Amino acid sequence: METNGLGSQGFPELKNDTFLRAAWGEDTDYTPVWCMRQAGRYLPEFKETRAAQDFFSTCRSPEACCELTLQPLRRFPLDAAIIFSDILVVPQALGMEVTMVPGKGPSFPEPLREERDLERLRDPAAVASELGYVFQAITLTRQRLAGRVPLIGFAGAPWTLMTYMIEGGSSSTMAQAKRWLYQKPQASHQLLRILTDALVPYLVGQVAAGAQALQLFESHAGHLGPQLFNKFALPYVRDVAKRVKARLQEAGLAPVPMIIFAKDGHFALEELAQAGYEVVGLDWTVAPEKARERVGKMVTLQGNLDPCALYASEEEIGRLVQKMLDDFGPQRYIANLGHGLYPDMDPEHVGAFVDAVHKYSRLLRQN
């Protein structure tokens, strides 16, 4: 069936599947690497492309998303692309207004305050039809990638989306969202269910559109201790994986590896490793060798260089990468940062990071 270099969905055939092989736990010739926020403001060309438009208008333009997704691949030999989008397109599709305030970040003019505010939300089943622009961006990017590397789709996890919808933006304590968990546990579960019901078809839609892997960002895991996490975050994270996999099978779509990245969720590492994801992403506060002991052989680990290490000299970056690769070991591992790239980082240093991973991981395998 694979005729004229076109794959099963009519997309160009994949030439570099190292990232996917590592995600599935297969052996690789070297360690694959990508960076969270690799399409970002640290690239001058990103700022040029983005200058003309407001943030969410960019997200709604498949052409712009495609261009931004491809920019880092023109500079660096990354092993995966991640679609340019934002986790907050889901609350938007549920009918909430979200704006991006320059220098401040996302802002919800009318956050959820009372239980009855949940009635304002659209039917989660309709969310995927509101997000066709993301699917179009994925399909266009997958075509233009020409099989160079796999394309990752993503979404925010239910608890992390809930925090934004209640806090109305970023928060250092998440006190309003956590107040809901303690004072309105029923309404909290109702909201988390709505978000889960929205996320499942959204993620399945991304795969149908051409995404070859999926990452779920539980960015605000660290604000919950083990008890709240096990009650209000983990069940929904598990549910997303289970239901996405079942829906892909029902739709006759090939399975894709799924990554869970719960920032500062080190207290739940064992649980996350058993939550139905092939890959567990780690932030830089976790010691790789300890993480490997705790999760066992069954999952691939991804991470976890401190993004601020990219402020170091290129020689020092090389040394830090070497140590990181030694600690993680050669297989069942995808190199990444422990969080996204910051806007003031030097692209040359990002290149040094990527090259060091490739060079040293090949050496490791020879010895």
What is the Cα–Cα distance from 321 to 352, expressed in whole angstroms?
10
pLDDT tens digits along 118-143: 999 999 999 999 999 999 999 999 99
Q: What is the pLDDT of residues 130-177, one digit of tens each?
A: 999 999 999 999 999 999 999 999 999 999 999 999 999 999 999 999
Residue listed under structure tokens 């839609």: 205
- What whole-number distance in Å separates Cα of residue 32 and Cα of residue 257? 15
Q: What is the pTM of this model?
A: 0.97
- Collapsing DSSP states into helix, strand and coil, what is residue 256? coil
Q: Binning pLDDT at 50, 70 and 90, where does residue 2 land?
A: very low
Integer Cα distance of 157 and 169 in angstroms: 16
Could you read off the pLDDT of 37-68 as tens digits, one per residue? 999 999 999 999 998 789 999 999 999 999 99
Task: Give dist(CA 223, CA 264) in Å, integer.
Answer: 8
CA 142, CA 163: separation in Å to the nearest integer? 32
What are the residue numbers of the active site? 37, 41, 50, 86, 164
Please, which contacts does 352-356 make with residues 24 or more away whose CB atoms are closer than 8 Å?
A: 352/314, 352/317, 352/318, 353/33, 353/35, 353/305, 353/310, 353/317, 353/321, 354/33, 354/35, 354/76, 354/77, 354/78, 355/77, 356/317, 356/318, 356/321, 356/322
Q: Is the pLDDT of residue 12 over 80?
A: yes
Cis preceding-peptide flag for 304 (omega within 30 of 0): yes
Predicted confidence at residue 216, as pLDDT, reads 99
Domains, the chain, in order of start with CATH, read: 6-364 (3.20.20.210)
**Single-letter amino acid code for the residue at 219:** S
